[in-house]
Structure 1
Amino acid sequence: MAPADRRPARLKDVAAAAGVSKTTASRILNGDTENFGKETCARVKETASRLGWRRNLLIDGMQKGRSKTVGVMIPPHDSFWVGVLAGIHITLAEADYLPITIWIGDCREFPEFNDDDTAGVEQINRLLDRRVDGLILWPSFAVAYYDHYRELIERRVPVVSIDHRLPDEVHADSIETDELAGATCVAEHLIGLGHKQIACFGARETEWQGWSVRRRQLFEEAVASRGGSVVRSWKTNESGSDGLEVAKQVLTSSPRPTAVFAVSDHQARILYRAAADLGLRVPKDVSIVGYADLDFADELSPPLTTMRQQPIEIGRQAAQAVLERQADEASMATGRVISVRPELVVRASTSRP
């Protein structure tokens, strides 16, 4: 017996089996059912299902000039970015778009392009060669993107960056945490507890970590504007390799701070280790506030007081911005900054001095 023909069903096969023209079958299977009888539509759909016909989205994309794909250049580095990815995927799936998620490295360290941005540019090219309908970038990829923005503007490819503001001429949207609200909230919490000597433990302040700079500066301004308390700031080197050393400098400075604001939960965890090495107790000797509410924050000892970001909502907003620009190309003439407000989660790492 000859082997069964396993060739995928084609549109003309569906049309022939249903007794309609290829044009009629195409229109019905693409959702145009108002101009045909219910019986005809049902027969075409039943035939397509029975034959195992599937729409060829590659052909559709060539015909319509849309691939229905969005390049998502974000690694699942920690629980914040996993949440961002979840929000992006949920929103794109609801709109029948497919995210193509890529990154470089093994996710154990931040991928960065301080010395050589070749890897980032190559990844961008891989997505552009596949004719994605939009790009969503995390900060370091956004920096690598600078060299390509003119090409993308000409091709009407919308771009959205997360936690990184691109220059005005790039005409890209930026989705970020409301840093002013977050800094204000932390300052009010610590000052309200009665802390007068406050420190800020910053992260590396590279080109692609602009959020770290804004978070520190806005916190300094928030403390200064309320009077009565003094804030001093430290930051790590550009590679972040001296974090523990700097954390110990913060905790042994004179006068020693009674509270420290860490610009991320990662920095807060380093402070916990430094405090333990120095024999300091949290919060009896020093209160610590983090930022992000990562998945380990409530498992630290004591559980960490932190600003909870809204990663799923940030991801949703990023995906929605791409979809909106797809629907209205006129919106690509300018860039927007969309802020998502964080909330303070008070746990056991802060107390009165």
Structure 2
Amino acid sequence: MKDVAEAANVSVSAASKILRGDRSRFGEETCRRVVEASERLGWRRNLLVSGIQTGRTNTVGVMIPPYDSFWVKVLSGIHKRLGEADFLPITLWLGDLDHLPHFEANEQEGVRQINRLLDRRVDALILWPTFAVAYQEHLAGLAEKNVPVVVIDHRSDEPYGDSVATNESQATRAVAKHLLDLGHRRIACISSRESKSQTWALERRRNFERAISLKSEAEVRSWRLNRTGDNGVEVATHLLTDDFRPTAVFAVTDHEAHCVYEAAITLGLSIPGDLSVVGFADLDFAATMMPPLSTVRQRPQEIGERAASLLIDRLDGPLAGEPFVHSEIEADFVLRESTGPAPA
């Protein structure tokens, strides 16, 4: 900085202010000389020092794993929006990808990982549902310390931050209407574990059940996976051989829909001749399943961008000091070849 000031023939204090963006009190020619000198000499701002001076690091802890194509696109949206606002995302998750569904088994490790970011003075956090549960139960008091939080796909009875989710009611109504219009009246729903971190699954299933129940002659029954979520094919087999004998199945994610496909093949059922199947998420494998899966296409890129925008607005914009916001993103029904008229 001293070298830049000398080359531009200004004081060190003036050079520092100009390079921090505080240029209102200096002439255009002075600012030009300082900027040109800094570029010529290769000056770079010391963000550690800046953070000490301002109390801000312009870093955001993003605690979301690249679990599947949905979350990869959510991450893409977050990184895009944060980059536009000159925030640096620090992405962190727990364990390896093979064990992510069992996060609750080591919640204390999740708390430790959150604290790793807080100890590095990130300005805010974006959390996926299982990290949100750990934060809520152990660290929510930090909201009083001006560490804004945005949670994706998780609802809390007592909000401790902003949240972003898919509009489950709108999406499941579209699925229900599609199946009912095809004449299906015995419809099964296969849900995920519905653990305390999976409020999205509970909400998705309940909204679907509510939409089907509006048709008086239609009936819906629901099954869900076990605590660890590793018995999807077993549950699918059970629901397909139950006395209820559904003609259509709605799966709360494409992962469960894949399990229904496996069970149907084993039982000799054709899709969609004997059984219609609808998934949710439009994951990267949905279009290549045999037959291609009808599903709900979420908008993960938009969800990620919205989450980052909420944080930025909470830190520097119109949401500062305002009540927490819950933002819902619309979804789109994608018709493919896994659904057809109800069999006689």
TM-score, structure 2 normalization:
0.96
Structure 1 residues 61 and 247 mapped into 2: Cα distance closer, same or farther (>3 Å)?
same
Residue 90 of structure 1 corresponds to which residue in structure 2?
80
1:166 positional shift: 2.7
Q: Deviations over 1:268-314 (max 9, x none)?
A: 01111111111111111100000000011101011100001010111
1:190 partner SS = helix
1:115 positional shift: 3.3
2:150 partner SS = strand
Q: 2:212, 2:219 within 8 Å by CA — same for their partners in 1?
A: yes
Q: Deviations over 1:130-167 (max 9, x none)?
A: 111111000000010021111x2221111111110134
Mapping of 1:47-62 within 5 angstroms? Answer: 47-62=37-52
Q: 1:161, 1:175 within 8 Å by CA — same for their partners in 2?
A: yes
Q: 1:177 aligned to 136, 142, 166, which one? A: 166
Q: Which moved more, 1:231-240 or 1:103-112?
A: 103-112
1:330 positional shift: 6.8
Residue 249 of structure 1 corresponds to which residue in structure 2?
238
Q: Deviations over 1:196-247 (max 9, x none)?
A: 1111011111100111111111111110012221111111101012111110
- Whole-angstrom CA distance in 2 between matches of 1:140 and 1:272: 28
Q: Which moved more, 1:137-146 or 1:245-254?
A: 245-254
Residue 139 of structure 2 corresponds to which residue in structure 1?
148
Which residue identity lines up with residue 276 of structure 1 in the other structure?
A: I
- Whole-angstrom CA distance in 1 between matches of 2:26 and 2:167: 51
- Whole-angstrom CA distance in 2 between matches of 1:36 and 1:122: 47
Which residue identity lines up with residue 40 of structure 1 in the other structure?
A: T
Which residue identity lines up with residue 279 of structure 1 in the other structure?
A: G
- Whole-angstrom CA distance in 1 between matches of 2:47 and 2:14: 18
Structure 1 residues 186 and 239 mapped into 2: Cα distance closer, same or farther (>3 Å)?
same
Q: 1:20 aligned to 10, 14, 23, which one? A: 10
Q: Deviations over 1:3-50 (max 9, x none)?
A: xxxxxxxx1121112211111111221223343333322221111111
1:103 partner SS = coil
2:327 partner SS = strand
Gaps of 5+ in 1: 1-10
1:332 positional shift: 4.7
Residue 256 of structure 2 corresponds to which residue in structure 1?
267
Residue 91 of structure 2 corresponds to which residue in structure 1?
101
Q: 2:101, 2:228 within 8 Å by CA — same for their partners in 1?
A: no
Gaps of 5+ in 2: none
- Whole-angstrom CA distance in 2 between matches of 1:65 and 1:295: 41
TM-score, structure 1 normalization:
0.93
Residue 67 of structure 2 corresponds to which residue in structure 1?
77
1:153 partner SS = helix
Residue 3 of structure 1 corresponds to which residue in structure 2?
none
Q: 1:317 aligned to 297, 302, 306, which one? A: 306
Q: RMSD of the TM alignment (CA)? A: 1.5
Q: 2:94, 2:103 within 8 Å by CA — same for their partners in 1?
A: no
Aligned sequence identity (%):
52
Q: Which moved more, 1:22-31 or 1:235-244?
A: 22-31
Q: 1:113, 1:144 within 8 Å by CA — same for their partners in 2?
A: no
Which residue identity lines up with residue 199 of structure 2 in the other structure?
A: G
- Whole-angstrom CA distance in 2 between matches of 1:156 and 1:217: 35
Q: 2:168, 2:204 within 8 Å by CA — same for their partners in 1?
A: yes
Do structure 1's residue 186 and structure 2's residue 190 form an aligned pair? no
Which residue identity lines up with residue 193 of structure 1 in the other structure?
A: L
- Whole-angstrom CA distance in 2 between matches of 1:107 and 1:190: 34
Residue 218 of structure 2 corresponds to which residue in structure 1?
229
Which residue identity lines up with residue 184 of structure 2 in the other structure?
A: H
- Whole-angstrom CA distance in 1 between matches of 2:321 and 2:161: 7
Which residue identity lines up with residue 257 of structure 2 in the other structure?
A: A
Q: 2:36 aligned to 31, 40, 46, which one? A: 46
1:135 partner SS = strand
